[in-house]
Amino acid sequence: METGTAKHSPPEPAESRFHRGTNQSGMRDHNERLVLSLVRQHGSLAKSDIARMTGLSAQTVSVIMRELEDDGLLLRQAPQRGKIGQPSIPMALNPDGAYFIGLKIGRRSAELVLIDFLGKVRAAEQLSYRYPTPRETVAFVASGMAKLRGSLDAGREKRIAGLGIAMPFELWNWVDTAGAPRQIMDEWRHRDVRTDVQALCDFPVYLQNDATSACGAELVFGQSSGLRDFVYFYIGAFAGGGIVLDGRLYSGPTGNAGALGSMLVPGPGGKQAQLIDIASVAVLEKELNAHGIEAPHLWTSPEDWGELGPTLDEWIIQAADALAHAIISATSVIDFEAAVIDGWMPVSVRGKLVDAVRKVIGSIDAEGLTVPKVHEGTVGVHARALGAASLPLSERFLIRPTMIAGGT
């Protein structure tokens, strides 16, 4: 009797199929990821729509979508009846199809988020501090991740597909700005945080610069999908940014492209200064402290800062001037169609900041340049953590937008 043949093998368990075709880098079959990317972009699609957009045969699309449905990644929607023929059945992403964890390690706080396949935050943990230490951070990840995983039942927990880390590169160089002891910050120089966190996980761990991750969150989860080329600013404890070219996050050969915080801009007294020294929330905190106002809620309550008075107004004026000049300088190198500004701040403050930037840009001599439109970011305070969580999502289930643009 023949043994071991495919026709006599038991059905493959759903959980095994979920991890089918993944290696250490988590890459799925190109066509599967293409279908998932299109469905994510459009919300829901029928097989005929996908076949038309991709050029794949109807039979191939049918097989792919059936496998993705069996994997629990796609859900059938209500049939849509046309004028003739059989009704089409759109397919949408299953929110419970996969989960991802994002870790943001910031200069004043750390954050863990658990998101579903649609990018919705299901649970979150936060830690505030004067400055980050490796030991405290890893301990926070261990305890926080246990809580996040405990919020899911056993079946859903098995669908956690990866963890992404968003943190400043060369954190040890921020001793003076962070106000931290040099020996503590030097510990980061000798620690491989990705390896430390990987030891806590049974799924892949990815690492990216924090501001670049925030930019990636805007690209994957935000409402700026119509923009193909934009420069992105994230105003956190320190200002940073990212670059999107042709619908794709550009991080450069060292992963540090879009280090906009280091850009030189006009500073106090007409002297040049780095953007980070003017348009950062840490600068606002310093000014508030100088006026006798303690403001720990800047870090613990980013959705509501309360009434901060003229100190906040003055910071907005100075930050807007610096950001406007940074945008013009960046545009002189790359012809960006837009500049997107987001940050660790209430939506109302972000709106005032963006309005102020628009006014300043209108007063700058930009002859010879096409001045980009200035947009508010649409992700908000969780952008860096969501960007971190988008790393395993993008690596394992999506393809870059430029590869699907032609078919849509």
Between 389 and 24, name the one with better pLDDT: 389
Whole-model pTM: value is 0.85
Q: Do residue 137 and residue 183 come from a single domain?
A: yes
pLDDT above 60 (res 283): yes
E strand or H helix at 128, and its extent? Answer: strand 121-128
Within this chain, do residues 197 and 244 fall inside the same structural domain, yes or no? no
A 10 A CB-CB count for 59 gives: 10
* CATH at 357: 3.30.420.40
Q: Are residues 79 and 124 both part of a single domain? A: no
Please spell the DSSP secondary structure of 167-230, one letter per residue.
E-TTGGGGHHHHT--HHHHHGGGG--HHHHHHTT-SS-EEEEEHHHHHHHHHHHHSS-TT-SSE
Please give the average per-residue pLDDT across 358-385, as a whole number: 95
Cα–Cα distance for residue pair 25/302, rounded to 1 Å? 34
Is 140 in contact with 201 (CB distance < 8 Å)?
Answer: no
**Which domain-ending residue is among 68, 94, 120?**
94
What's the mean pLDDT in 252-267? 90
403 within some domain: no
Quick check: is 405 in a domain? no
Q: Which one of 74, 94, 114 terminates a domain? A: 94
Confidence bin at 182 (pLDDT 50/70/90): confident
Of 125, 144, 338, which is closest to residue 243 (Cα–Cα)?
338
The last residue of a domain, from among 94, 129, 154: 94
> pLDDT, tens digit, for every residue of 147-171?
999 999 999 999 999 999 999 888 8
pLDDT at 72: 96
Q: Do residue 279 and residue 345 come from a single domain?
A: yes
305: in domain: yes
The pairing of strands 109-115 and 121-128 is: antiparallel
Helix (H) or strand (E) holding 325: helix 310-331
Same domain, 205 and 244: no
Here the CATH number for the domain that contains residue 89 is 1.10.10.10
* 10-21 average pLDDT score: 49
Contact 258, 221 (CB under 8 A): no
DSSP 362: T
Sheet containing strand 160-167, edge to edge, reads 121-128, 109-115, 99-105, 160-167, 205-209
Q: Partners of 62 in the beta sheet?
A: none
Q: Domain count of the chain?
A: 3
- Please name which of 113, 215, 212, 103 lies closest in space to residue 165, comparing C-alpha atoms: 103
Same domain, 164 and 257: no
Write the single-letter amino acid at 174: W
4 inside domain: no
pLDDT digits (tens, 9 = 90+) for 50-71: 999 999 999 999 999 999 999 9
Task: Give the 3-state secondary structure of residue 235.
Answer: strand
Task: Name the strand (E) or helix (H) holding 33.
Answer: helix 30-42
Please check whether residues 133 and 249 belong to one and the same domain. Answer: no
Asked whether residue 239 is domain-assigned, the answer is yes
DSSP state at residue 80: B
Domain presence at residue 7: no
**For residue 197, what are the domain limits?**
99-214+386-397
The pLDDT confidence band at residue 184, using thresholds 50, 70 and 90, is confident
- Mean of per-residue pLDDT scores for the chain: 88
Separation between Cα atoms, residue 49 and residue 382, nearest integer Å: 34
Same domain, 235 and 338: yes
Query: What share of the chain in percent tops pLDDT 90?
Result: 73
Number of neighbouring beta carbons within 10 Å of residue 150: 10
- Between 7 and 58, whose confidence is greater? 58
Q: Dihedral of the CA atoms 91, 96, 100, 101 (nearest 10)?
A: 150
- The verdict on 134 and 267 lying in the same domain is no
What is the model's pLDDT at position 10?
38
Residues 57, 120 within the same domain:
no
